[in-house]
Structure 1
């Protein structure tokens, strides 16, 4: 027994050197990628990488005493996307490490060529994460990841946080991660919507360290329109208002601000607003005997009054109801504008195909053969009910109260 125990202990001791991180890579051997950009230029793919400069972000003040830039951007190009990525190892002294990559920006020209290859790469690369957020740029994608953002040390991380804040506070643009895009493009509709990332102001204002030394900058990175992709290629664009309608149509609204006017006239200025705090849409498809498709959308929403410039006194139930109806009509108008835009593009980014697949699985087998055409012919019936759950300290606007105080 003792002999067996001794043999076992010896074996364990001999195995100790084998334990450890066999695939360990030293920090000074890798280049940490925090953002990636993809361009199509002069018949070639151009892949750009935003690399962290460790020495520049190590100080407590957010930059090194030497004033080094926190990141460096370099590019590789090739006739194929894979070749462009592969050439990085011959042009970079360190091995690129993608586990901390936060975002990927794709130019409009590249998106028109198709994003299937980059999705394929993310599916196969063990370092890459499916939580990476994707954006589309109308100009060069590289320009976006060259920008330095005040407050944050690493621009790629800052942009990732920007889209998270947007998704939580104002449901105009969802966080379109690689995983979510794969779900959309492999689903029944095989379409998706991806936010545009853009620079508002001077492009030169954010790509210099001087932008981090001022109290205000002449430019900022923000979201623009919504890119619509069908299959894996860019099909067109939706405006911000149309993008908001997409969120209502696809039942993804969490929190959004709705401006409205006092008269119900669509041409009148929308100087009042509410914030929607709770919303839900019941979506029900119906296949009619003559082959037409109807989609019933029953929306229920409630919210809080943010700004009120109307002369009506909300203490009056009739005035309160009229205000709620105006807000409901505003929501319906957004939904219809969005529907007209996506039906014109013949692109199902609102998930109607998935609904029909679940409700009419047998009929879907035939419809999916030419779904884009069938989708554009859908007849939507939209019904919106809105309820004001909080109006604040007063039932009237400030000027009305002030006028009453003077009389």
Structure 2
């Protein structure tokens, strides 16, 4: 009897625990998939919300396929939270951010008030900290208009472009809200953000390049052809194709397919002198040979050395750029703080100037993986470096 009594009591408790966590129905929610933030007059912001438009069960399937899967709402205001609240007056629904995929911030806004914009996204409990943030060249809302190439919504299309551009092409960085908070709140106080631009010749939106940012604003940009080398230095390169020019006077180039890459940054403090060493190891297979013939291991070693020299030159060029901008996006200052916390207190006030002139040694090692497939026939021409 006691067992039956306990079972009935637990069953009653379970009945009291059932129910929905909110009284708001799905038909009262507007699921925001993407946000675009632009600058207006003076301190006014233009915020565009891309809202998923679910198909009605009363519409014929043929008409559903022709209708757009999203709707864009643009409003003005002095703050993001104010504009998001006012979106209800247009959509007639509560804006739900739990499914947001991408946040676009125009370059104009990023150069003036980046930190104040990001504060809302970090504090709002509905927005996932894993949501990517991207800088746009030109108006951010323009990248949420038109028809998506493959996905159902433009926001989803941009999200997919960012994901593949970083992990499979090595053309940009994927930075989330949490990543950005860690980078800007670290002792280095610098961050990297992805960029989306419109190619004027083909009128296509392309995700490539990296923006350099300080806590309060964007301070510079790394060109798309240099982005891979910054990712290699930062240990953020996963996979991609790297070009090796045939010569200074030739426009031809050969390619290496990077299958694995890792780097190690070692800061050094001797007295008052600060320096750093970066060791980069690359495992790659040859993609194309147009001006080099490899017949044996000696030829392969010479080709690997050629690749190492070229990659080192490109990385030194990138390091020179970020030092001129005084953006410690490689986190050298933070690593120095972890190694020498007491001495860092004296270094931090003048760290940007020290960082800009400190010597940074770069060592590159390239291992070619497909040496057993080096037969130059039938398509390769016999040539020399």
TM over 0.5: yes
Once residues 120 and 283 of structure 1 are traced to their aligned partners in structure 2, the CA distance between those partners, rounded to angstroms, is: 31
Report deviation, 1:336. Answer: 0.8
Identify the match of residue 280 of structure 1 among 243, 262, 277.
262
**Residue in structure 2 matched with residue 157 of structure 1 by the alignment:** 156
Once residues 37 and 309 of structure 2 are traced to their aligned partners in structure 1, the CA distance between those partners, rounded to angstroms, is: 41
What secondary structure does 2:316 align onto?
helix
Report deviation, 1:245. Answer: 2.2
Q: Which 4+ residue blocks in structure 1 deviate beyond 6 angstroms?
A: 2-8, 56-61
Report deviation, 1:272. Answer: 0.9
- Whether 1:237 aligns to 2:217 is no
Report deviation, 1:358. Answer: 2.0
Report deviation, 1:16. Answer: 3.6
CA RMSD of aligned residues (A): 2.9
Once residues 97 and 166 of structure 1 are traced to their aligned partners in structure 2, the CA distance between those partners, rounded to angstroms, is: 28
**Residue in structure 2 matched with residue 53 of structure 1 by the alignment:** 53
Aligned pair count reads: 382
**Residue in structure 1 matched with residue 122 of structure 2 by the alignment:** 123
Report deviation, 1:4. Answer: 12
Once residues 311 and 3 of structure 1 are traced to their aligned partners in structure 2, the CA distance between those partners, rounded to angstroms, is: 86
Q: 1:157 to 1:19 in 2, by over 3 A?
A: same
2:110, 2:218 within 8 Å by CA — same for their partners in 1? Answer: yes
Once residues 182 and 8 of structure 2 are traced to their aligned partners in structure 1, the CA distance between those partners, rounded to angstroms, is: 51
**Residue in structure 1 matched with residue 176 of structure 2 by the alignment:** 177
What secondary structure does 1:54 align onto?
coil
Name which of structure 1's ranges 317-326 and 105-114 shifts more when overlaid on structure 2.
317-326
Matching of residues 286-325 of structure 1 within 5 Å: 286-289=268-271, 291-312=272-293, 314-325=294-305
Q: 1:256 to 1:13 in 2, by over 3 A?
A: closer
Q: 1:6 to 1:355 in 2, by over 3 A?
A: closer
2:84, 2:95 within 8 Å by CA — same for their partners in 1? Answer: no
Report deviation, 1:159. Answer: 1.8
Q: 1:270 to 1:186 in 2, by over 3 A?
A: farther
List runs of 5+ in structure 2 lacking aligned partners: none
Q: 1:302 to 1:270 in 2, by over 3 A?
A: farther
Q: TM-score, normalised by structure 2?
A: 0.89
1:50, 1:146 within 8 Å by CA — same for their partners in 2? Answer: no
Report deviation, 1:112. Answer: 1.6
Report deviation, 1:11. Answer: 9.9
2:289, 2:380 within 8 Å by CA — same for their partners in 1? Answer: no
**Residue in structure 2 matched with residue 89 of structure 1 by the alignment:** 88
Once residues 268 and 2 of structure 2 are traced to their aligned partners in structure 1, the CA distance between those partners, rounded to angstroms, is: 78
1:33, 1:52 within 8 Å by CA — same for their partners in 2? Answer: yes
Report deviation, 1:319. Answer: 2.0
Once residues 80 and 100 of structure 1 are traced to their aligned partners in structure 2, the CA distance between those partners, rounded to angstroms, is: 21
Matching of residues 102-251 of structure 1 within 5 Å: 102-201=101-200, 219-251=203-235
**Residue in structure 2 matched with residue 368 of structure 1 by the alignment:** 348
List runs of 5+ in structure 1 lacking aligned partners: 203-217
1:57, 1:64 within 8 Å by CA — same for their partners in 2? Answer: no
Once residues 173 and 57 of structure 1 are traced to their aligned partners in structure 2, the CA distance between those partners, rounded to angstroms, is: 41
**Residue in structure 2 matched with residue 206 of structure 1 by the alignment:** none
What secondary structure does 1:113 align onto?
coil
Matching of residues 57-68 of structure 1 within 5 Å: 64-65=63-64, 67-68=66-67
**Residue in structure 1 matched with residue 33 of structure 2 by the alignment:** 34
Once residues 244 and 38 of structure 2 are traced to their aligned partners in structure 1, the CA distance between those partners, rounded to angstroms, is: 40
* Deviation by residue 1:261-287 (Cα, 9 ceiling, x = unmatched): 34xx44433421111112222321112
Once residues 31 and 354 of structure 1 are traced to their aligned partners in structure 2, the CA distance between those partners, rounded to angstroms, is: 41
What secondary structure does 1:173 align onto?
coil
**Residue in structure 2 matched with residue 211 of structure 1 by the alignment:** none
Q: 1:241 to 1:118 in 2, by over 3 A?
A: same
